[in-house]
Amino acid sequence: MTTLEPTVAGGRNKPATLAGGLSSAVLLRATKDAFVKLDPRQLTSNPVIFTTWIVALLSTVSAVAAVASHQPAGFAIQIAVWLWATVLFANLAESVAEGRGKAAADSLRATRVTTKAKLIIDQNTGTIVPTPAHKLGVGEVILVEAGDVIPTDGEIIEGMASVNEAAITGESAPVIRESGGDRSAVTGGTTVVSDWIKVRVTAEAGNTFLDRMIAMVEGADRRKTPNEVALAVLLAGLTLIFLIAVVTLLGLGKFSGVALDPLVLGALFITLIPTTIGGLLSAVGIAGMDRLLKVNVLATSGRAVEAAGDVDTLLLDKTGTITFGNRMATEVIAAPGVRPELALRAAVSASLADETPEGRSIVELGRNQGVVVEVPAGATSIAFSATTRQSGLDAPNQQGGGMSWRKGAVDAVYRSLALDPKLIPAEVSAAVDRIARSGGTPLAVSENGVLVGVIHLKDVVKPNVKERFADLRRMGLRTVMITGDNPVTAAAIASEAGVDDFLAEATPEDKLRLIREEQGRGRLVAMCGDGANDAPALAQADVGVAMQTGAQAAREAGNMVDLDSDPTKVIEIVEVGKQMLITRGALTTFSIANDVAKYFAIIPAMFVVALPALGAMNIMRLHSPQSAILSAVIFNALVIVALIPLALRGVKYRAVGAGKLLSRNLLVYGLGGLVAPFVGIKLIDVIVSSLGLA
């Protein structure tokens, strides 16, 4: 119980995002990094580009040897230059994708504090010793007062304070942090605006939430996802196939009397292997994480983003995700024999100390109907608790006795009043049932131990949410609403929102059980949470989105952190994951089709003189075998540059089934991959031959 004190409500500004656009500084840094990545030790993880690096090096040696022996070297030099350009452009794609993340990491790194903490060495006397933040140990207790920067991560063990977390979230409005509950976690680098708190340190230097954010953004621990590994194996297989195809050309050359220069064969080999997707593969994955960063979501790895794209079941909390969460009082129904004004006055009195949106809406409802109640002198508030599931107000009266008002869950109030269910008035039961079936929440109201009425709280389903769930359903996702409401209320809201299923009266254990059941059926599950009791479910889910304002246990358990603490982000996260997979599939389709087309475009041009029968296939009529090879090498390099924006931006997301999506990709990117080489190589051949380069 607490004595009533006035409270001040703050506003909320639109949060800023960590990721910015492609500034000149980002591009300059990416260009520098592209040259640094020419180090072969950094290329070994990408077999296709590493192979290109080897051939580029051999071509350079060939060009140098030609110059040294005073042989014509122009063609060899051009081949070497464009092969190195191919490697550089692939590096540039990855570096640009990483660039915005590194810029964001720099801004986060600037928020690190080097201030001295007020270490409490004796809890009894409150003795404080100034201590550098980096020397604080886990378990030690520090005092943080108004104006102080919180030196490290911790849990509040005493006190309550208003904290500005703009350095981490971009949100300028301060938030309340207090001991106990799910809002006791504080983050190093944030600032206490008012009051004071005692904080128990929970993270060592170098392992704070800010440090982990920087590591996430920079992708320091980036490892290939399962799909990337599988695709890399496919690309390695295709590279081997084209290597065999090129080697067989040596025999064909001897048979046809065509002398094949090793330089030409090496260049031909590079034009045929899937360098396009090989050069853009990592950029697609990094860009997926960057797109999440733009909406203030941090992913611990590309694996988490990829899992979001493969999610089958989406668990959504009702409050804040499906509904606005600010349930408003719309009416108070009086019990039989109770005047409506008395029932409304009792509801308002029970809500005077309730600072929740629901409590304030009850007071506002009374004011609108002419019932204004002042807080009685000496009144004591009764806070809501999960045990009693009710709140209210106790106050002395003029006769020396006391007045008591309570409101809360219907069954909880019935139990506190020791009411026999058989003796509850039929009118009250009917009102409770009507409110529940309409999707509202009924609250019972009592005065001095007597049931006086029922409050109707109505939550509003967010606009367009039904259409969004329909889009997810077309993509093959199953949506499940999680709520603590009773089954009748849950069913009404689920029907209005258009979700596939719901779990009513859910506990943290119920969430964990549901996730395991879904995974047992071979489905991937995504969910969000913020409480310490959500940590097991967040850790179990394939995609666990923790709220930044939530408990530290939840933030550590999830594989994503939403800096805006907006539960609706889980839908955007799934869409970003889908977009990343779609983009990767589209570019792979384009690249493979591209390679097949280049094979049939170049080979006839190389052997048409020796084998006139190939003339029927030489539809492009390229100027010469040398111009054909040079044009193909140039096209091979430039197509990577042309596709970098698509890899970073992603293929436009469409809520369609897998079959339609596959058909569209084959039509647009498969057909495009077949046509582009014929058009591009021919145009380059015309330019090259007209300039006398080959």
Domain boundaries, the chain: 114-148+154-202, 299-324+461-563, 331-458
d(CA 328, CA 197): 33
Confidence category of residue 216, pLDDT binned at 50, 70, 90: low
Catalytic residue set: 317
pLDDT exceeds cutoff 50 at 217: yes
The mean of the pLDDT values for the chain is 83
Nearest to 322 by CA among 539, 486, 541, 479: 479
**Spatial CB neighbours of 149, under 8 Å, sequence gap ≥ 6:** 113, 115, 189, 190, 191, 192
Q: Domain 114-148+154-202 falls in which CATH fold?
A: 2.70.150
How far, in Å, CA of 595 to CA of 274, rounded?
A: 6
Enter the tokens of residue 137.
């140990």
User: If you ran DSSP here, which 8-state letter would residue 183 be given?
Assistant: G
* Residue in the structure block whose two tokens are 């304030």: 360
Q: 136 Cβ partners below 8 Å, 6+ apart?
A: 117, 119, 142, 151, 152, 201, 204, 205
449 pLDDT more than 80: yes
Confidence of residue 188 (pLDDT cuts 50, 70, 90): confident
pLDDT in tens, 192-201: 988 899 999 9
At residue 171, does pLDDT exceed 80? Answer: no
CA distance 576 to 19: 15
**545-574 per-position pLDDT tens digit:** 988 777 777 888 888 888 877 777 888 888
In this structure, are residues 109 and 222 in contact, taking their beta carbons and an 8 Å threshold?
Answer: no
pLDDT reading at 1 higher than 70: no
* CB neighbours of residue 520 within 10 Å: 8
**Distance between CA atoms of 671 and 277, rounded to whole angstroms?**
16
Superfamily the domain 331-458 falls into: Calcium-transporting ATPase, cytoplasmic domain N (3.40.1110.10)
Does the pLDDT of residue 327 top 70, yes or no? Answer: yes
Give me the phi and psi of 163, to 5 degrees please. -120, 130
Split at pLDDT 50, 70, 90, the class of 111 is low
Q: What is the pLDDT of residues 393-447, one digit of tens each?
A: 999 876 667 899 999 999 899 999 988 878 889 999 999 999 888 878 899 999 9
Instruction: Decide if pLDDT at 46 tops 90.
Output: no
CA-based R_g, the chain, Å? 33
Cα separation, 166 vs 172, in Å, equals 5
pLDDT of 10 higher than 50: no
Is residue 452 within 8 Å of 350, Cβ to Cβ? no
**What is the per-residue burial (b if ≥16 Cβ within 10 Å, else e) of 175-190?**
bebebeebbbbbbbbb
DSSP element (H, E) containing 193? strand 191-201
If DSSP codes are grouped into helix, strand and coil, which group holds residue 186?
A: strand
Q: What's the pTM value of the predicted model, to 2 decimals?
A: 0.68
Strand partners, 316: 481
Q: What is the pLDDT of residue 636?
A: 93
Domain 299-324+461-563 = CATH 3.50.50.60 = no
- Owner of token pair 């190389």: 606
Distance CA 550, CA 553 (A): 8
What are the pLDDT digits (tens) for 223-267? 666 777 888 888 888 888 888 888 887 777 777 776 678 888 899
In the numeric block, which tokens belong to residue 534?
Answer: 């959500």
**Long-range CB pairs of 424-427, under 8 A, 24+ apart, other chains included:** 424/451, 425/335, 425/336, 427/333, 427/335, 427/336
Decide if pLDDT at 187 tops 90. Answer: no
Q: Which two tokens stand for residue 219?
A: 């992708």
**CA-CA-CA-CA torsion for 431, 434, 440, 442, nearest 10 degrees?**
30
Predicted confidence (pLDDT) at residue 539 exceeds the cutoff of 80 = yes
Coil/strand/helix, residue 486: coil
